[in-house]
Chains A and B, each alone.
Chain A
Amino acid sequence: MISSHMRLFGAVVALLLGASGPAPAQQLELKLMAPAAPGGGWDQTARSMQQVLVAAGVARSVQVTNVPGAGGSVGIAQFVNGAKGDGNQMMVNGFVMVGALAMNKSPVTLDQVTPIARLTEETQVIVVPASSPIKTAQDLAVALKADIAKVTFAGGSAGGVDHVMAALFAGTVGADAKKINYIPFSGGGESLAAILGGKVTAGISGLSEYEGQIKAGKLRALGVTSAQRLPGVDIPTFKEQGIDLVLANWRSVVAPPGITPEQRKALGDAVEKMVKSDAWKGILKQKGWDDAYLGGDAFADFLNKEIARVTEVLKSVGLVKS
């Protein structure tokens, strides 16, 4: 009885609002968690979503909370336990969280959340100092096969996308990925200094982070991980150099466990509306993110495949004990 009353009440409210406002979706009051400190990629994604969701009239209000810690392990634990069944909450996450959860032996996993959509991706790049004798990705492959320990890679945190990529590159060209000499730095800044200073053989990062240095001729890009050449980027892909390495640092948004199919659909629709808005396209351009929208079950499939691939790589380099 109560629920039918509620439904009636809801219908009346919707009718009333329909007369004055554009759509009932206006009523969405979302809470969006960025499981990282302010400033990083996830935080920027969450704050961009906040801006666009409200500006495009998809949601009435969006509140962003930051729960930093351990590559998102702290955030997801709080999200899964605290937001269960709440159809008004979402969390931003991405590639890095997959590895972090595996390495931290987190009791909460990505199987527990409800996938909503993949939003963006960033292409990865391998660079060497301009003075390096290594000119192409094949040169690097030869060096790796000759003595893998002597090829030092600088990149982001252990088990993150850069690390996984170094291992995949070594494995793909036929070197022993177990023995890669990967040196994690905190943040792109420090690793860039190590590369420019010639302390390491090669560096790995998101393309946008090194683009300025590449254009200025201080770094040489050996290749990018996109499947095809990117418009406006004059760097060959690994694929066209005969190395089958395709990878992207993707970011996505998920909902809590235990929400109803209707709630899932409502959130999915809201996100779809957001990514189709001009405001979102403007943000992608501004931040240098590539649109990688993939919604619903297709995203769920993709997520499972990525989890399997990353976990296997991390096991092979010994970061995750099997």
Chain B
Amino acid sequence: METFAALAHGMAVAMQPMNLLYALIGVFLGTAVGVLPGIGPALTVALLLPVTYKLDPGGSLIMFAGIYYGGMYGGSTTAILINTPGESASMATALEGNKMAKAGRGGPALATSAIGSFVAGTIATIGLAFLAPWLVDFAVRFGPEDYFALMCVAFVTVSATFGDSPVRGLTSLFIGLTLGLVGIDKLTGQARLAFGIPELLDGVEVTTLAVGLFAVGEALYVASRRHHAEEKLEPVRGSLWMTREDWRRSWKPWLRGTLFGFPIGALPAGGAEIPTFLSYSTERRLTKYPKEFGKGAIEGVAGPEAANNASAAGTLVPLLTLGLPTSATAAMMLAGFQQYGLNPGPLLFAERPDLVWGLIASLFIANGMLLVLNLPLVGLWVRLLAIPQAWLYAGILVFATMGTIAAKPSVVELSMLAAFGVMGFLMRRFDFPIAPVVIGLILGPIAESQLRRALAISLGDPMVLLQSPMSATLLGIALIALLAPFVLRGLGRFKANED
């Protein structure tokens, strides 16, 4: 009950007209930067920090939270409409979302992602308010071996993005894993596959790879097909809004996505990418319309988008309770706290309850604002698709290039973007799936360093992977997920023989 009283008090703080204004500015800025690839919420908060120095702490933190949530919304818009994920967390959304947009169902895709984000964000914020102290205990006990086991689960489910041919899918995955090796090895500090190029020492940037493969590759592919038959895009086919059928197919993925996103986001090394892909592959397995997957299934948009936003709320759990920033944006928000001499951590809830609960309450408000801001824009956004293809794709190329330069101003980075673009074109041309490359780049380095950390702590004893109950359970799940299809197929054959 204490929580309710505190939350009500927080609502009163957040509802002050000035704080509402800050929240509005925040979600607006966040949506805008989320749309631009490369310029993420972290950079925006960094640029705003000196500006907000003179504002009161509550107001500016509320604005930062708005930027954070807004960025998560904005990234999905470009992913769906022009296959250019604004950040790596919206990649899973692009898989089905862009297919839907091409089939004239961009409206429902944007709507399900906006409403799904709202639902997930709200549930996850409730979780933040009520479960944070309990969840943080769980998150802290999650050791390197448990992360490794979680990565194993994620790897098994990657196959959902393989398309028709497992061999091609595995090839793509291994390209991604190889790219993941580039750069300084985190555990020994030695350079690998960097060929003496200093820019490569930090490894391949996920957004550069994703934008190159998805956006640039797509533009090249479309250009190469011009002489065959120009694909006519109809911006709207059927209803612009979600039909009753769309709602029926969306609500379960929203909830499941939230269940993936919130706890994994709360893990110190969880992030937003893993829950989005886990959600995608779960929806793909559970769907009643497996034939639609790969051609634009609404479940494949609803789930990952919900997971994406829920993980954003999850990230705030360790930030507020422990002072642990687990994403770049959270690190900037921590700097924001420190700017006012506040140290997030176990004492913050006790020392400044007005601030913490005001922030949590304003997350609810930011979420509502984003829904109001985004739904009316759906009609406007889908008009983008009516732009003649040549113009649209030229625009995408400019957009992708500018975003990359904004994130890392270097020739090497741009060359990589171009190389990945050509690679994306060739992979499309020869029917290799693209998503596994990006997933390999994300998961590979995490799995490797966590396994090596676990082994360093256990002094080289591999049994550590089975001794932790969490790790053992997760490895068990991975094993079942890996073997189940074969066993089921075997059983099917067995039954067929009986008949």
Contact = CB atoms under 8 A, between A and B. Distances in A.
Interface string A212-230: 1101101000000000000
A38 B347 contact: no
Interface string B339-369: 1110111111000000000000000000000
A104 B189 CA distance: 8
B26 interface: no
B50 A51 contact: yes
A192 B328 contact: no
B163 interface: no
A189 B46 contact: no
Contact of B325 (A50, A69, A189, A194): A189
B343 A184 contact: no
Contact of A103 (B189, B332, B335): B189
Contacts of B202: 68-70, 74
A216 B184 contact: no
Interface in B43-58: 43, 46-47, 49-50, 53
A1 B282 CA distance: 78
A200 B456 CA distance: 10
A70 B201 contact: yes
Contacts of B184: 70, 104, 158
6 contacts: A39-B328, A193-B140, A194-B144, A196-B140, A197-B143, A286-B340
Interface string A179-194: 0010111111110111
Chain A to chain B: the 8 pairs with minimum beta-carbon distance, closest first: A212-B345, A158-B189, A38-B46, A70-B201, A216-B346, A189-B324, A193-B268, A159-B189
Bin the interface of chain B by size. Answer: 35 or more
B477 interface: no
B395 interface: no
Interface string B195-210: 0001101100000000
A61 to B, nearest CB: 14
Contacts of B139: 193
Given A193-B139, A213-B322, A38 B43 contact: yes
Contacts of A152: 456-457
A157 B187 CA distance: 8
A300 to B, nearest CB: 25
Contact of A192 (B43, B47, B324, B339): B324
A68 B408 contact: yes
Contacts of B459: 149-150, 181
Given A184-B187, A212-B323, A37 B201 contact: no
Contacts of A37: 42, 328
Given A104-B191, A183-B457, A193 B142 contact: yes
Q: Which of B268, B343, B409 has the most CB of A within 10 A?
A: B268
A73 B201 contact: yes
Q: How large is the interface on A (under 10, 10 to 19, 20 to 34, 35 or more residues)?
A: 35 or more
Contacts of A70: 184, 198, 201-202
Contacts of B144: 194, 199
Given A183-B456, A213-B346, A74 B140 contact: no
A319 B188 contact: yes
Contact of A216 (B142, B269, B340, B347): B347
Interface of A: 37-40, 43-44, 47, 50-51, 65, 67-70, 73-74, 77, 103-104, 106, 149-150, 152, 157-159, 181, 183-190, 192-194, 196-197, 199-200, 211-213, 215-216, 218, 285-288, 319
B165 interface: no
Nearest to B454: A199
A157 B189 contact: yes
B186 interface: yes
B227 to A, nearest CB: 42
Contacts of A181: 456, 459
Contacts of B53: 51
B332 A38 contact: yes
Nearest to A67: B409
Interface string B113-146: 0000000000000000000000000011111100
A103 B192 CA distance: 12
Nearest to B267: A193
Nearest to A152: B457
Contacts of A190: 268-269, 324, 326
B318 interface: yes
Contacts of A74: 198-199, 201-202, 410
